[in-house]
Structure 1
């Protein structure tokens, strides 16, 4: 659908608008019987008025363009007419005119078609002028703002120049920083290579520390096993001594019981001998012929026998008691030696365990520092 309506203006309206717009001063008779020269000038004036045609477009053609033809003098007007025709077609096409403008409308203009095309171009001009009148305050306001911006730009020009100088300095600084960055990147690459070497060394150190830790643990386990075995052996020896002591103590009790039985038997025997002595005394009284020396000798012999028996019994008890004390002393000494050995082994194992823990902490600290 067209942007403009195409009411066909009357000749009087066309004449009035052309005169009012100071485009051309014509009469209705000129439109009733138009000629090609008049119509060409009228179309050119309309196009000049709406700023579609310029002076150089409708003026004389350049000699360089005309000399391409055989008779350039004969083609001056035709070339100007073709230019005008193309401009009119462009204007009518932009207004979406329903009628097609042809070259015949310039060479042999028709009254009705001429009035229709003039009405279309005048409507476009009126519409354009209305738009320009509407936009003129806005344009004036924009021009005022542009002037304000230009003044502000002139006022801020020293600041802009200062900023430009600072920008140049910053560019130089950036260039220096870029060079410094390149140097830092090179240093970073070197440090990265050194870090890789250090990582390899750290890995080897950690592996070596782990191997040492493993071997130390194995040594500690072996030492602990040896200590436990030594403790078990010494404990077994102590238990053996205890069992031997118990057996000896039991044997001593049995011997003491046997000695007590022997003592009782001897005592009974002595009692029997006392009875015998009494019977002998009775017989001696009967035999008064026996001398006092013989009687004294018999009595001394009996007393000596009893005394000898008592002494042997006392010596046996003393020996058994001494043997018991000696066995108890040896048992205590063995137990004390076994306890000392066990404590020494325990202290050795504990010391090795503390050394292992300290070495493990040192290795972990080294690993943490490296990582």
Structure 2
């Protein structure tokens, strides 16, 4: 890593070492010490404030990295991971520089059999301890009585519970599942004023050709960085250029495709539906073709002729499949004013027995954050 950084700018080797020392301090304070604090009381935030100020948490991730690193491409490489939790590196707090030492400390792992295998393993653990899972059973309402969550309604049937834990989109939970509960009105009103993350456009495809220049994880930066992020988070314009995360899991797990075939997905951040008027029913195949053409011309020669199956997942699918407001892929944006105490609390302030897990609550999006919230 140091050799690659030095190849672009020798002075950045020392700058990176200083940046890593800073980010490790942030990791200790922000993840090890505060990651398990539920921030149910404002006093919890007050106690954390002095250290956050000392670490310049008011600065953005990109601004912080730029104070150590001079090469623009290295700045991009160190700051793009803000997108993995739905944040714009030019806006979200430098607290999230903790992602870099987190990944260095624990590595980036992939479960054999894919994410589905991890889900199946968690289901087995849940059922082994006596849990029951009802599939294809969308919850219609969270039922309350006298300020207490007492169960849920599914397909017209009331299922009683001592506590209710919602892992649904937080906006959907308050605006739909709790629409009959007067005590939720204050939180619902606040929820409707919050900022939500960008969306994603994902192409899943299988091919009968392996591209030996690819790794399991591949980041393809476009020509623009700040300008593209501005389109994604601010203007809502679906730009002509894009940056892509290409997942090639068959590089490490042959079980994810039939013999002689390889599985992939290409993911591009795009504006959410609140700021964009893109007609994704029409645009999806067009945008997918643009991405596949770009990959073929720059990284995967002969790609399009090798594809045997493909499927799109657009911002509209985030709405219809996941009840994600505005097609947001990561729920609330992780800005400083929507983090810790200022994020949706893991335990509702007004309704007893109601708890939240998932991307929209503390500590935030991404698998470590979501699992941590539980």
TM-score bucket of the superposed structures, by smaller chain: under 0.3
Which structure shows the bigger proportion of residues in helix conformation?
1
When Rg is computed on C-alpha atoms for both structures, the one with the higher figure is 1
TM-score by length of 2: 0.18
